[in-house]
Amino acid sequence: MILRFQSLAELDDVAGQLIDAGRPHSVWLFDGEMGAGKTTLIKAICRRLGVMNVVQSPTFSIVNEYITNSGEPVYHFDCYRLRNEEEALDSGLEEYIDSGERCFIEWPERIAGLLPPDAWTLHLRVEEGERILETN
């Protein structure tokens, strides 16, 4: 799937398409350069899922836990600050991934050896002012 969008106004629609397409996957990997819009996209997806909490990057805490209005947990990881996979294990990452609940992971390349083979990768990039999102 390839999605193209230019404005924040389009994010709600993009989030809806991703939720529909990504239903079979509990672990979503958000790949892209700094500033590509990974966290902003995750915020839109969480809003569309009905997350009641404030969604923000868990850069310092590694993981943020959210709850949807139907009581479902959503876990949001930012692995940018991790020095190695052992730090991810210390944060309880494996338990979150094994839970079967939605896990959104930014900077997944930092923990590549810990990721399940059926994780869904979303590559986000910016070209000439347009965001391009490709999924595997």
pLDDT digits (tens, 9 = 90+) for 93-118: 999 999 999 999 999 999 999 999 99
Report the share of the chain in percent with pLDDT over 90: 74
**Confidence (pTM):** 0.92
**2-135 has CATH 3.30.43.10 classification:** no
Beta bridge partners of 109: none
The yes-or-no verdict on residue 78 having pLDDT over 80 is yes
Instruction: Give mean pLDDT, residues 60-77.
Output: 91
Residue 15 CA to residue 21 CA, distance in Å, equals 10
Nearest to 89 by CA among 70, 49, 62, 118: 62
pLDDT: is 104 or 36 the higher one? 104
Residue ranges per structural domain of the chain: 2-135
**CB atoms near residue 86 (< 10 Å):** 10
pLDDT attached to residue 127: 92
Question: Which residue type does 35 have?
Answer: G
- Average pLDDT, whole number, for the chain? 92
Amino acid type, 26:
S
C-alpha–C-alpha distance, residues 21 and 17, integer Å: 6
72 vs 59: CA distance, rounded Å? 23
